[in-house]
Structures are given as C-alpha cells and as structure tokens.
Structure 1
Amino acid sequence: MEFPRRRLLMVSEELGEGDLAALKFLSQGHIPMRKLEAIQKAQDFFEALQEKGMIEEENLFFLMELLYRIRRIDLLESHLDTSREKMERELQIPGRAKVSPYRYLLFQLSEEITEYELKSFKFLLGQELPKCRLIPQATMLDVFTEMEKRGILGEDNLSVLKSLCAEIDISLLKTIEEYELKLGKTKGLFPIVILAVTHGYHTGLIMNTFQVKKRWLSQRHRGAAQEALKRVFSKLHFTIAEHRDLTAEEIRETVNIYRCKDHKDKDCFVCCILSHGKKGMIYGVDGQEVPIRELTTSFTGQNCYSLAGKPKVFFVQACQGDACQEGVNIETDSKEPDDSVETDARFQLECIPTEADFLLGMATLQDYVSYRSPCHGTWYIQALCHHLEHSCPRGEDILTILTAVNREVSKKTCQPNSRKQMPQPTFTLRKRLIFYVN
C-alpha cells in the first residue's frame, strides 16, 4: 500500500459521521452532488476525491484544507505533518484555497446555529421545503442543501437566508454581512442619500449607506428605510439627491462636495447614514472603514463656515459592535411624563465654539449591534420617521422627538433571545431645533 493511501486510511478511521457530512458539504462544486449523496464511508469519499484529481500522491493539500476547515487539527498534526499555523499561512496565498468561501460561510453558520435555532429554521421553511426533508434528524447542512436544490439559496442568492437569520438570531446575519464585506459582495447594499433644502427652510444632508433589499418574508418595496426617510424629509421641505453604492473614498468625496457648498441661505444641515459598521465606524461597499467623527467634523464651523451657527444633524443606522443588549425589568408609573417643550426657530450670529450646534443620533450604543425587522426594516429608522412625521406638525423639537424614539425602540425585543436595543443621541445644540411643516 503506497504511503499516501496509508495516510488516508488512518485519517478515515478517525472521522465521525458528522465530520464526513461536513467534508462532503465543503466539497460540493468539486464532486457531483449525486455522487456525494451516495457516499457513506470516508474511504469512499477519498476515492471520489482521487478520481477528480483533488487528492494526488504528492499533493494532499485539499484534504488538509478540508480538515482545517472542520477544525480537525489533531488529524493534520498526527497524520499529515502540518499544523494550524502552517495552514493559516498557506491559505493566505491568493488562489491557494480550494473550498468555496460561500460554502465555508454556510458551514460556519451551521456550527453557530443552536438546536433551538435549527428548529426555528425548519419551522419557517415549512412551506418552502418538503416535510420529509425537515425531519428531526436533518442537520443545518441538510437544510442548506435542500434550500440550494429549491433555488432559494445560492452564492449570489443570500436574501432568503439573511431574512431568516434576521428573524432568528441577528448575530447570524452579521456573519453573512461580514462575509459580503470581505468579498466585496455588498454592491446594492450601500446607497447614500443627500438632502439639500430650498431657501427659507431647513438645510439637510442625508447619507444612507445601507440599502434594504426586498425581503423574502415580506412583499415590501426595496429600500424601505431610505424611502421612508425621503418621504418624511420631503414633507419637512428638504430636496433630495440620492447616491448609491459608494466606496469609502467615494463617501469622503461626496461629503467633501457638500462641505464646500455655500449654505449661507440654508437654515439647517441633516445627514442620515444607513450602513454596516463597528465602533465609531461605517463601511463603504469596498468594506473599507470611514470614521463617523471624520464625517461630522467636516461640517464644523471651522471646516464649513457657511454652516457656522446652524444646526448640523446626523442620524446613523449601523451596528457599533458585536455585543447584544440585555433587558431588565423595572417598575413604571401609570402616567407618561409631560413632553411639552419650548421652541426657538431663529439662530443669531455670534462668536461660538467650532463644535457647537451638532446633533448625532446613533441607532445603538457603542459596542452594540442594531436590529431590523425582516418585514418592516430597521427599528431605529422606523421609529425616527414615524415620530418625525407625527410630531413635527405639533411643533415638538428634535430632542423631544428623539426621546420618544428612544422609548419606542427600547420597548422592542429581538426574539428568541430577548435582545434589546438602546439608541443614543448626543448633541451640542445651543437652542431647540424644530422642523416646521407648512
């Protein structure tokens, strides 16, 4: 028995049923599905790889990669004379990896999904997949395979899976979004909307860097969040210019265009950003980071003199980390607090700090994720548009409105883990800000 086959035999003897299922799943695209489904033993799987030229006498790298992907480092070290560190270095070489990044993404998701979440997936897919394929013994890899067969999952068709993950566990959705960012598959996910106001009303900039795609679990229009923003701010006398699919550099260029504009006839500036993000950052379609502070400081009195003394308002819908917020029970009064406020719509020229008159409304606290409903869109933008639309005509100022937004979003719960979200407005406004509706 030649040396490579002896190694293959020793490896096969230590592979369990779950290991073999994972290896077969990761090898799709190299071995026909029909042949994979008939394989019941690891030795037969290795024979199939040899027939396809994926395992050769002097080249066992594909097998090494497979074992590395399923985390059988012990077999790499004991039978294939390599290590985790060596494999990590090898897989950094362009073109070296043979396992599809898409298929590895699905395998990673299957490893993260709990037994309870697996049952939730099966329940939600009850009308899409045959019941015989959703038996209790079916694994998440089995479910993914059936979804692919039915045409509701593919390398360029992740919308159904993303909707399910948003419904079941937002951290799973984040894994998919990070995969899309890494591979530059976020085209169509990041528009930017610029709002500039006509003379005599408020000035506004809205940057929207996250396009909400059409959801599988609903028939709502594509771009529900930005459409809501455009509708509401149009009523508030903003004119709208929309820019989609911008890289990080293009975001900077777009901001710079508006920074350099003459805003002397405008009263206010608003920028809404909908994007993926992490602490203090948003992403462009190329996955590159743009610091939120870099965007806001572009419009300080020093950098944009025509907006000095005028309110500059930023609304940011983006995750700011990976942590999830927990709920806590409290006792509440039976009566809501009085929300009445004074208003002041005029801004007088005076010597003021360059950082004055800013408002930054974040969808979530730093370090935490933000959520969106698969049917209705992001919690924060839903609440923001609702309260702007209904409270501005009553003359309520923006901080009162954002307090109501905080209250509404804080009441929402992401099931099944009872996760919460708490928006965070910060401001240096010197006067109360009202958007008039005439």
Structure 2
Amino acid sequence: MELLRPRLLAVSEELGESELASLKFLSQEYVPLRKLEAIQNAQDLFEALREKGMIEAGNLSFLKELLYRISRIDLLVAHLGSSREEMERELKIPGRARVSAYRYLLFQLSEDVTKDELNYFKFLLGKELPKCRQNPETITMMLDIFIGMEKKGILGEDNLSILKRLCAEINISLLKKIEEYELNLIAALRRVFSKLHFAVAEHRDLTAEGMRKTVDTYRCEDHKDKDCFVCCILSHGKKGSVYGVDGQEVPIQELTTSFTGHNCCSLAGKPKVFFIQACQGESFQKGVPIETDSVEQDSSVETDARLQFDCIPAEADFLLGMATLQDYVSYRSRREGTWYIQALCQHLEYSCPRGEDILTILTAVNQEVSKKSCSQNAQKQMPQPSFTLRKKLIFPVN
C-alpha cells in the first residue's frame, strides 16, 4: 500500500471539485451515499474505495475506469500507466466495466446540461425536491438533482419516466440519449443472435393475447431445417407470469409448453431456449458476506444439436433463463432488460466465439449480476437458469 499512496496522492491533487463530485456519483454502487456525502477530497474517496476493495495495490482497474469515464486521460497516462485505447479494449470485455450503464448515462446527461437548463430542472422539480425551491443556490450540478431524485424514489434504473418527461420539455436531445440507452439492449440482443446465425424477429408492445398469438405462430411453423429456437421476453411480471402491455398476465409455463415435443413436433429433440427479463414478485434480495466463491461446473455431455430419433420426454431440451428468482424483483428499464440482459448479451458475444457452452455462459452471467447492487439500499439480484437439456449446447459463430 505504501507504493500505492504516492500515486493516489498525485492523482487526487490534480482533480477539481466538480471532478470529485463526478467520481463520487460514479462510485455510488460501491460506497454508501451517506459516506460519500461526507467526503470532501479525492484522497478520502480513494480511501473509502480501498476499504471496499475497489482500489488495491495490484488492481487499479476501477480507478482507471473512473478516470476514463470523466475524460481525465492525462491522469490515466501519467500516473496509472494506461491509455484511452487500452481502456476501450478493457471495457469491451464482459464484466470488466464496474460503473453501471445507468449511472454512466446520468453522468453523461449531467455533462450536457447547460446552466440555464439546470435552473429549469430546479424550477420544474420544486414540488418533488423542496430543496430546489428553498435553497436553489446549493444545487450547482445536475448530479445534485439526480441524487435528490433517487433519494425521493422518483428516479432509478427501472424508473426513468419522470426524467424523460422533464428532458422532453427542456432539451429533446437529452431525451434521445435516454431512449438510445433504453434501446441499446434490444439492439444488443438482435446483434448477438444475428452473429450466432439466428433469424431474428422482433415483436414490441404486445398485449397478453398478442403474446399468445405470436407464440402460437412460431409453434405452428415448420422448424425441421432449424437447429434451435430462442425466445427472449422483456416485460413486467409476477411469480410465474409475465404481463402484456394491457396489464393482463400470461403464465410462463403456458409459453414454454407451447413448444414441447407434443405441441411443436418439428422442434422435438432440439434446444428450446427462453430468456425472461421480468420481475417475479415484489420482494427485495439482500446480500450476505462470503469469504470465498467457488463454482463447479459439469461439462461431461457431448456437443450436438441434431434431431434425435429416440423416444424422449416431451419436456426435454428446454432451457429457461430467468432474470431473477421467484418472488423477487429484477432491475430493468420499462421495456428492456438492464442488469441481466446486458450481462447476457455481453457474455454471449464474448464467450460463444471461444466455444463455451450456454450453461457455462449463464454461470458467468449469474456471477456478474450477483455482484451488482442497487446503490441506495444494497439490494441484489440473482438470475436463475433451469433446464432439461440432454446435451451441451454451444452456439457456433462460424
């Protein structure tokens, strides 16, 4: 640690007040907000991050990412021996980015807000955030607005509607950035599965009946020349069900059983994969401390996705990847998944070219999502895959 302190001191001495505020905001997933609010200098922030294991003598990746995010490439080069190009390569690797896409979005928005627009935000939020009305001079950055909105529960990874409404009224380009963020994950799904040689079709804003009709359409198709069927559902939900846009529920089992060997003969013996991004209840998961983390994986089944002519159970060859456990919430945008779908897309894109099977990939997704926390109250999320696959499933890229 003694060799590290001079480097941290050198970095801290070159950071301004607004940059410190930005670093504190981007660190909220790892340091409690109450503690962050008491920090007055970068040295104290680095010490708080060190206590949380985010800065270590042999691992400065998070500090490098923070400096990269706030565009202090000069400090990255001079004191940490890295570069913009190196960070761009690093952050493309699944699980390497520790600043959430949601928090980085807010930071980017704050950078684009002018002084006049900041005052307009304060005016429009006068009722929701009394401090904006009573002491507007104490709010000097858009990040202050975001923190206040999060404290009041009117802004979050799953709650962007008020912010979108305000941005639409104040600056339409800010709204477009939020919409691009929301669409990125659907685009990522399309990009990833196109690379994996799937014929991709997208169906948006379906009612419950629309979901049933869409599923029935694919159930009735002839899949004899296909090797696998994948269905991704991004919606709201409750235990065992997902909702259509009309608020009516559809049991997940109803959707999956449409493709059993009895109901869809041309998919018999072929993998049928469902990824469900939806809450499965209203409970919140809490984290527990552990000393070590070991996950053993069984990879003893041979690779093959061809149709088998043995007599097999009608329910064979299914994989159901749930964003969260039953009874618990998941963290998502209004229509697009966030933690789970983002991690899923990243690991599919990174690991499929390396020949890894889907269960190994989903284990890595579990690991990544389990590390994340909802910043205000340390709430967690644990995805849950379940399967009746009879063979290892690998998506070939070439």
TM-score w.r.t. length of structure 1: 0.52
Corresponding letter in the other structure for 1:140: E
Match of 1:306 among 251, 256, 266: 266
Alignment-derived partner of residue 105 in structure 1: none
Alignment-derived partner of residue 140 in structure 1: 128
Alignment-derived partner of residue 367 in structure 2: 407
Task: Using the TM superposition, give the Cα deviation of residue 372 of structure 1 relative to its aligned residue in structure 2, in angstroms.
Answer: 3.3
Distance 2:155 2:283 in 1: 13
Q: How does 1:118-267 map to 2 (within 5 A)?
A: 129-130=118-119, 140=128, 142=130, 218=178, 220-267=180-227
Distance 1:238 1:371 in 2: 27
Deviations 1:317-339 (A, max 9, x none): 01111111000110016x88689
Alignment-derived partner of residue 313 in structure 2: 353
**Contact 2:271/2:305 (<8 A) preserved:** no
Corresponding letter in the other structure for 2:119: P
Identical counterparts, % of pairs: 64
Distance 1:144 1:390 in 2: 45
1:268 aligns with 2:228: yes
Distance 1:330 1:322 in 2: 25
- Where 2:192 maps in the other structure, the secondary structure is helix
Corresponding letter in the other structure for 1:425: P
Distance 1:297 1:433 in 2: 20
**Contact 1:232/1:389 (<8 A) preserved:** yes
Structure exhibiting the larger radius of gyration computed from Cα positions = 1
Distance 1:126 1:339 in 2: 55
Corresponding letter in the other structure for 1:344: T
Residues 169 and 142 (structure 1), Cα distance of their counterparts in 2 relative to 1, 3 Å cut = closer
Corresponding letter in the other structure for 1:350: D
The CA RMSD measured in Å over matched residues stands at: 3.8
1:330 aligns with 2:290: yes
- Where 2:199 maps in the other structure, the secondary structure is strand
Corresponding letter in the other structure for 2:315: E
Match of 1:386 among 346, 352, 355: 346
Gaps of 5+ in 2: 1-109, 135-145, 162-173
Deviations 1:12-41 (A, max 9, x none): xxxxxxxxxxxxxxxxxxxxxxxxxxxxxx
Task: Using the TM superposition, give the Cα deviation of residue 223 of structure 1 relative to its aligned residue in structure 2, in angstroms.
Answer: 1.5
Distance 2:148 2:222 in 1: 45
Residues 377 and 320 (structure 1), Cα distance of their counterparts in 2 relative to 1, 3 Å cut = closer
- Where 1:290 maps in the other structure, the secondary structure is strand
More helix by share: 2
Distance 1:294 1:324 in 2: 26
Gaps of 5+ in 1: 1-123, 147-162, 179-213
**Contact 2:282/2:328 (<8 A) preserved:** yes
TM-score w.r.t. length of structure 2: 0.57
Corresponding letter in the other structure for 2:303: D
- Where 1:365 maps in the other structure, the secondary structure is coil
**Contact 2:158/2:332 (<8 A) preserved:** no
Deviations 1:338-359 (A, max 9, x none): 8977641243221001111110
